Structure 1
Amino acid sequence: MEAFEWQQAQSPADAAALVTHTTAEAMLTLQARPSERQAILVKAGGVDLLDLMKEGLAIPRRLVDISQLRELQGISTGDDGSLRIGALTTLAQIAVHPGLRQSHAALAQAAAMAASPQIRNRATLGGNLLQRPRCWYLRSAAHHCLRKGGGHCFAFAGDNRYHAVFANHGCAIVHSSTPATALLAFHAQVEILHPRGQRYRLPLEDFFVLPEADMHRENILGPGEILTAVWLPPQMPANRSLYLQVAEKTAFDWPLAAVAVVLDLDAAGLCREASIVLGAAAPVPWRARQAEALLRGAAINGETAEAAGEAALAGATPLAQNAYKLPLLATLVRRAVLGAALPQDQRAP
């Protein structure tokens, strides 16, 4: 790692005024002009950024530390019952928060399954959403891939066993954030601070960017913009949710496949609304819209859950080494739909 300057931000507005690049832009600039070191980057927990710096993939001139800003920390409830999660709230805090465990169980479950206990106590929600893909070609200094401004995606002809099975044309990354899968299922919004001082919100679904829209970045965040919070809409008592994943290891591993399910059931047990999001499946958390539509108005049982699992695979384009993800995803959807339909006190531990 090369030497860099350090600056403590005094406020979110202070950080927004100081930062000149996103991490994606800094990596792209470094590939184009290796001798240029003008980027000033924001640092929160630093889990991902410091890894990139150690590998020589990001060489900023200065880091602006926002980790001590209290207004970006913690979980609070709005007058309408919505929840605001500050961008600096750690994954460990989300995993154990009693209110979230009741109203947004899938999010607490997803946070509890991310990485290792040590990392969960350091990693922030904002940093987790903004981390760069874990594709080994992107993170290899020896591979000048499309996402770094190169000529092609090495994954198509190379080792693609962990890559995308949806929307993988051109670039086959999968989105790295575990909580993002659950957040999208809850129709979360992100709160962003513009360098000129305005704050605005937009749906999380509109925040992420597919490769076909922009090959070089994973979200719409611009230079100097700071992700300040995530907002969760209030949940009705009839809403139930569940997050499940499969990984090669039970700790400190990214999932091979994941799913978050949120169901709104009426008094008769019929599904009024369903939200099904697949993780580790696409360059963004992937909405299984056909599976959602199939459940609306239906009773949740083995037959409808099985059908939802199959419908969730619509449009899949697996690569040479990752077709195994399809039965994993179908099974997870089936289990998550059935599990989410049960009251929490009836679920297996």
Structure 2
Amino acid sequence: MEAFQWQQARSPEEAATLVTQTTAEAMLTLQGTPSAQQAVLVKAGGVDMLDLMKEGLVNPRCLMDISQLTELQGISHRDDGSLRIGAQTTLAQIATHPRLRQSHAALAQAAAMAASPQIRNRATLGGNLLQRPRCWYLRSTAHHCLRKGGGHCFAFAGDNRYHAVFANHGCAIVHPSTPATALLAFHAQVELFQPQGQRRMLPLEDFFVLPEADMHRENILAAGEILTAVWLPPQMQTNRSIYLQVAEREAFDWPLAAVAVVLDIDAADLCRQASIVLGAAAPAPWRVRQAEALLTGAEISGEMAEAAGAAALAGATSLTQNAYKLPLLATLVRRAVLVGAATLSQDRF
């Protein structure tokens, strides 16, 4: 790790004004060039940033620490039932928040399954959403892959057992954020702060970028923008949600496959609305609209849940070593749909 300066941001305005590059842009810049040595990057919890610096993948002149900005911390409720989660809120705070565990259970469950207790107490929601993919070729200084400005993706002819089974043409990374899967299922929005003091809101689904749109980054965050919060819309009392995942080590590992399901089922046991998002399956959290449409207006049964699991695989293209993900994803969808429906039925009695 090279020497660097440290600056504590006093306000979002200061951080947005002084930051010169996103982490993705810094990884594209050849090390040793003047622009690389002059970069000012944002540091939140620091879990991912320090890893990248220790591996020599970024070499900033200065880190702008936003971890002490109180306006970026905590979970607050609005009169309409919506929730604002500050970008500096830790995963541990999300996992244990009483209201979130009741109204947005899938998000609390996803946060509780991310990483280890030590990391959850340090890692922030904003940093988790913005972390770079965990592809070993991206994280290797010996491999100048497409995402770092190189000529090709090494995963296709290499070790791709943990890589994407959807939207994996050109680059086969999977998005590394566990909470992002649940947030997308709840139709969350992100709040971005710009250097001019303006704030813009956009759906989380529009925040992420697939390789076909931009090979070098995972989101549309610009160098002068700070992710300040995530907003969750109000939930109907008849809504229930669940997050499930499978990992090689349940105690601490990224999932091999994951799903977040949000269901709204009426008094006649018909599904009025379904939201199903796959994790560890694509370069962004992957919403499976075909499975959602199958459940909408239908009564949830074992056969219907099985059909939703099969429909969730529409368009999947496995690589040489990751076809095992397909039955895992289908099974997780089936289980999540059945558990969500069963939870709703139990709450009525």
With structure 2 as the length reference, what TM-score do the two structures score?
Answer: 0.98
Counterpart-to-counterpart distance in 1, 2:342 and 2:4: 52
The alignment status of 1:94 with 2:94, answered yes or no, reads yes
Paired position in structure 2 for 1:23: 23
Q: Is the 8 A contact 2:144 2:150 kept in 1?
A: yes
Paired position in structure 1 for 2:318: 318
Counterpart-to-counterpart distance in 1, 2:193 and 2:253: 32
Q: 1:36, CA displacement in angstroms?
A: 3.6
Alignment of 1:156-235 (within 5 A): 156-235=156-235
Counterpart-to-counterpart distance in 1, 2:249 and 2:323: 20
**What is the SS of the residue equivalent to 1:92?**
helix
**What is the SS of the residue equivalent to 1:144?**
coil
Q: Is the 8 A contact 1:162 1:322 kept in 2?
A: yes
Q: 1:32, CA displacement in angstroms?
A: 8.9
Paired position in structure 1 for 2:116: 116
Paired position in structure 2 for 1:72: 72
Give the unaligned 5+ runs of structure 1: none
Q: Is the 8 A contact 1:238 1:265 kept in 2?
A: yes
With over 3 angstroms needed to count, the CA separation of the structure-2 counterparts of 1:66 and 1:88, relative to structure 1, is: same
Give the unaligned 5+ runs of structure 2: none
With over 3 angstroms needed to count, the CA separation of the structure-2 counterparts of 1:346 and 1:117, relative to structure 1, is: farther
Q: Is the 8 A contact 1:295 1:308 kept in 2?
A: yes
Alignment of 1:238-317 (within 5 A): 238-317=238-317
Counterpart-to-counterpart distance in 2, 1:126 and 1:97: 17
Q: Deviations over 1:159-190 (max 9, x none)?
A: 00000000000000000000000000000000
With over 3 angstroms needed to count, the CA separation of the structure-2 counterparts of 1:300 and 1:345, relative to structure 1, is: closer
Paired position in structure 2 for 1:106: 106
Q: 1:346, CA displacement in angstroms?
A: 5.2
Q: Is the 8 A contact 2:309 2:333 kept in 1?
A: yes
**What is the SS of the residue equivalent to 1:30?**
coil
Q: CA RMSD in A?
A: 1.3
Paired position in structure 2 for 1:334: 334
Q: Deviations over 1:101-139 (max 9, x none)?
A: 000000000000000000000000000000000000000
Give the letter aligned to residue 244 of structure 1. Answer: L
How many aligned positions are there?
A: 347
Paired position in structure 2 for 1:38: 38
Q: How many percent identity over aligned positions?
A: 84
Counterpart-to-counterpart distance in 1, 2:20 and 2:35: 17
**What is the SS of the residue equivalent to 1:262?**
strand
**What is the SS of the residue equivalent to 1:342?**
helix
Q: Is the 8 A contact 1:156 1:172 kept in 2?
A: yes
